[in-house]
Amino acid sequence: MDIQTPNGLEFSPAAKVFLCAGRLLAPGGGMYFGYMTGQGSKVDIKALAKGIALVTVEALESTGFAQFTPVEKKFGLSKVPTYVVHAVYSGAPGFSGRFLEATQWVDTDLVTVFDRLMSREQSPIEGFLNRVSRELSDAGIFTHGQYNGIGAVWNTEWLTYLQEAWMPEAYEIWQRAWARPDQAVIVKSFMTAVAFNQHSDRDDD
């Protein structure tokens, strides 16, 4: 059966994971590190963001939108194993498309790509999740709340329908992404970008 979406839009795996987050992750994170999901539970904000980073790499690589070549690059005083991202072609939906655009269509290391997907709002990770959820908000499914997702408003009908429709796919790619033999490299690249962004003086949107 075809899955209905607002105006027939196609959504990225990242957006599907974001919408299903309360069913994919165990409750956790506490007062400061808990991100409010559409299911009404808080999950660890870092675990959610790391998982979405992994899911996006997995989806783009498995569909052939991007190629990832191992490399070691110096950031600050230390060398970090990461990837060079080669965007093969455009047209990926939602956040996947934003990820490809963040390469600026030249071969770019994964740390830099993740950094460009963050912003200095309350935190780099908060900015990253806001960019992930933007395709849902643009479709009228989700309205942003305050820090850590508090006060976000969901369209209940779409949330209920899509979490049931998307959960099998979201669960499958979530498990596959975390099972990658290189998941530690991707997570390290993501957290290096978080640290880099926290110490950056730039003023991104």
- In tens, the pLDDT along 28-86 reads 887 778 999 999 999 999 999 999 999 999 999 999 999 999 999 998 788 999 999 99
Q: Are 70 and 83 in contact (CB under 8 A)?
A: yes
Alpha-carbon span 197 to 200, nearest angstrom: 5
Domain residue ranges in the chain = 6-198
- In tens, the pLDDT along 136-181 reads 999 999 998 877 788 889 999 999 999 999 999 999 999 999 999 9
Report which residue type is found at 68: F
pLDDT at residue 191, as a whole number = 95
Please enumerate in sequence order all residues whose Cβ is within 8 A of that of 183, keeping only pairs 6 or more positions apart, or say none: 54, 177
Alpha-carbon span 63 to 104, nearest angstrom: 20
Q: Of all residues in the chain, what percent carry a pLDDT higher than 70?
A: 95
pTM exceeding the 0.85 threshold for the entire prediction: yes
Q: Which contiguous run of DSSP H or E holds residue 154? A: strand 153-154
Token pair, residue 205, equals 């949107």
